[in-house]
Amino acid sequence: MVYLQRSSFVATGLLLFVLFTIVTSASNENEQSIGHSDSFRNFQEHFWAEFKHFERKMESEVVKLKMKVDLLEAKILEQEHLLKECKTCSNIKKKSENKMPLKYDVIDYSQNIKKQSLLAPKTCLEALTEDPSLESGMFLIDPDGQGRGDDPIYVYCNMTTGSSSVLHDSEDSIEVSHCFDPGCYSRQIKYNATLRQITMLSELSNECRQAIEVDCYDAAFEFNGIAYAWWNDRNGDPRYFWSGKDNNSTSHYHTCQCGLEGSCVDKSLSCNCDSDLAMDLSDKGVVTDKDLLPLTKLNFGRTIAPTSVKRHKLGRMECNGKVVLDGMPTSCEDLWRVGYILSGIYSVKGSSNKVETVYCDFSKLPGDEGLQTWIGFADLKSEPVYFNVERNTSYNILNETMPFEWETLNVGNAFNLTSGVFTAPRPGTYFFAFSSFPETQYYDRTNSCYILYTVKLVSGDEVKVSLKQGSISSALFTGVLLAEDIFQS
Ligand SMILES: *[C@@H]1O[C@H](CO)[C@@H](O)[C@H](O)[C@H]1NC(C)=O
Ligand SMILES: *[C@@H]1O[C@H](CO)[C@@H](O)[C@H](O)[C@H]1NC(C)=O
Ligand SMILES: *[C@@H]1O[C@H](CO)[C@@H](O)[C@H](O)[C@H]1NC(C)=O
Ligand SMILES: *[C@@H]1O[C@H](CO)[C@@H](O)[C@H](O)[C@H]1NC(C)=O
Ligand SMILES: *[C@@H]1O[C@H](CO)[C@@H](O)[C@H](O)[C@H]1NC(C)=O
Ligand SMILES: *[C@@H]1O[C@H](CO)[C@@H](O)[C@H](O)[C@H]1NC(C)=O
Ligand SMILES: *[C@@H]1O[C@H](CO)[C@@H](O)[C@H](O)[C@H]1NC(C)=O
């Protein structure tokens, strides 16, 4: 009996496996029946004259258009020439403080709409990275990529930090009207950008934030277990936390900054305003949940009392930094975030420690269906591993690793012929097959041994064969790395 063993496991036994002109024919008939009528002939002549006139007119239009095209072409050449000159002289001009309109400067944009969409960077940070001499101000950026998706958006760029801020219509302190029911006061926030552009800005940024300040006097967010106030996130879902991030709980999550710090007026509550006291209170917070921003609607209630006051002041949605990929890209979204724009077949780090081949359609954006199409696993091996070893002399030593006499293949040098030990050089799934024949005098097919085994190994695992009883006349041992766990070592 022969055993195939891997570190601690022992496979016993005799396992047997069977391993796409107007057609004139119809009008000819008409011509035959009414063809000799004078009126028809007059009509024909008239029509013909009109047609000639039209033809001359078109010809002159075509000539005019050709001239225009020539003129435009000449202008483009001139522009290109100027641009080249500008590239070579820009450094000198800057040094001599000769302030030219800067590449992304607003002044430049207002002169020519086409030019601006050609040059709009994805984020303020990208603009700053390209031209560190830029000063803070309003800029056109195009987070969803130039020349596609929505039109570029007009944002405030802080060129000290490279942050991009999206402006809206509710930045001032606005007083909530008097009403009682939960959410009876509701204000839609109008951003000077499409939600899609804002979402793409947050996808490209490392962090996004939006400050909210609520002043209150006898007007709680929540009272006696009833939520009178909430905001709606980018998907329109209600949210009850006024600072920080969502805490991932499925239950109603309500807090303010003071609740996070444990510094609320009433320590048993999570917002100052919740104390419902006839006293000037305030809750200031910064919502930092990038995936929920921006706040799209503010809803308040419980302000019916003539004396109750509530004011809200919502900050701009500000995004900072560049999203940093944590290791290798795992999806088309990751590739989009780091700047890939050409659709095609890409390899990404898939789950299960294998390289996966995916098709990325970059005419789509993150969150769109069809951005990524899974194709399959890439059959990659950092090194090939397979061996085939044999022996043909009598062997009867029990319980010891069987050595082999010659190898026909030993790619990867993982099998040590003299010691009989196979050491897995890489983690992955391996396949082994062993067969042996007993000594001739006891020859009997049923005594022949076949072991087939597919097993997952980690680097350093050993696989060896030993005899438990009897003796053998010849043996063959073969193994192959079927699939490597590429991202494990
Ligand atoms: C809103 O954006 C447009 C361009 O997208 C710009 O012309 C306009 O001045 C912006 N309005 C504000 C208030 O920023
Ligand atoms: C830019 O951002 C920094 C940090 O938030 C701030 O201190 C500074 O005043 C901002 N500068 C401008 C011009 O907005
Ligand atoms: C919420 O879940 C996300 C994703 O599962 C995780 O990255 C984040 O750290 C969680 N946040 C909290 C406050 O638990
Ligand atoms: C989330 O917030 C709810 C309500 O404030 C609280 O009960 C829950 O414990 C929090 N969950 C986590 C994971 O922090
Ligand atoms: C064992 O194999 C070697 C090499 O193929 C061969 O030269 C030798 O004759 C074989 N011995 C026996 C006993 O069959
Ligand atoms: C070989 O090992 C088996 C069980 O592991 C044991 O029963 C047997 O006595 C051993 N034989 C020798 C010769 O050590
Ligand atoms: C093979 O194993 C033998 C015996 O254990 C050892 O002496 C030798 O160094 C090994 N060969 C290699 C290439 O590791």
Domain boundaries 386-484, corresponding CATH code: 2.60.120.40
How far apart are the CA of 244 and the centre of ligand 4, in A? 13
Radius of gyration of the chain (CA): 38
> Does residue 118 sit in helix, strand or coil?
helix
CA of 5 to the centre of ligand 5 (A): 27
Q: What percent of the chain has pLDDT over 90?
A: 39
From atom 13 of ligand 3, which residue's Cα is the shortest distance away? 247
pLDDT tens digits, 306-349: 878 889 999 999 999 988 877 888 999 999 888 888 899 999 98
**Residue among 251, 255, 257, 260 whose CB has most ligand 4 atoms within 8 A, to mutate:** 251
Residue 235's contacts (CB-CB under 8 Å, 6 or more residues apart) are 292
Distance 252 CA to ligand 4 centre (A): 8
> Dmax of the chain from CA atoms?
120
165 has a pLDDT exceeding 80: yes
Segment 187-240, tens digit of pLDDT:
999 999 999 999 999 989 999 999 999 998 888 888 888 888 999 999 999 999
Ligand nearest to the CA of 157: 2
Q: Using the Cα atoms of residue 98, residue 102, residue 105 and residue 111 in order, give the sign of their dihedral.
A: positive
DSSP class per residue in 250-312: SS--EE-HHHHHT--SSTTSS-SGGG--SSEEEEEEEE--TTTPSP-EEEE----STT-EEEE
Tens of pLDDT, residues 46-66: 767 777 777 777 777 776 777
Nearest ligand 3 atom to alpha carbon 245: 13
- List, in sequence order, every residue forming a beta bridge with 209; answer none if it has no partner: 318
Same CATH topology for 166-320 and 386-484: the answer is yes
Closest CA to 46 of 54, 58, 36: 54
Instruction: Tell me the one-letter amino acid at 307.
Output: T
In tens, the pLDDT along 136-154 reads 888 999 998 877 778 889 9
First and final C-alpha spacing in the chain: 35
Ligand number, closest to the Cα atom of 403 = 7
Range 166-320: architecture per CATH: Sandwich (2.60)
251 lines ligand 4 (CB under 6 A): yes
8 Å CB contact between 157 and 136 = yes
Q: Which atom of ligand 4 is closest in space to residue 255's alpha carbon?
A: 5
Tell me the pLDDT of the chain averaged across its residues. Answer: 79
CB-facing half-sphere around the CA of 208: CA atoms within 13 A: 23
Distance from C-alpha of 250 to C-alpha of 252, rounded to nearest angstrom? 7
User: Which single residue is written with the structure tokens 């940093």?
Assistant: 324
Asked whether 469 lines ligand 6 (CB < 6 A), one says: no
Q: Tell the residue nearest (CA) to atom 2 of ligand 1.
A: 154
294 and 212 Cβ atoms separated by less than 8 Å: no
Residue ranges per domain, the chain? 3-72, 166-320, 332-377, 386-484
CA of 247 to the centre of ligand 3 (A): 7
Here the tokens at position 77 are 């050449």
- From 387, 402, 419, give the residue whose CB has the most ligand 7 atoms within 8 Å, as the site to mutate: 419
Tokens of 183: 């959410």
Residue 416 beta carbon below 6 angstroms from any ligand 7 atom? yes
Q: Write the pLDDT tens digit of every residue in 364-389.
A: 888 888 999 999 888 888 889 999 99
Q: Is the pLDDT of residue 363 over 50?
A: yes
As a whole number of angstroms, the distance between CA 317 and CA 33 comes to: 77
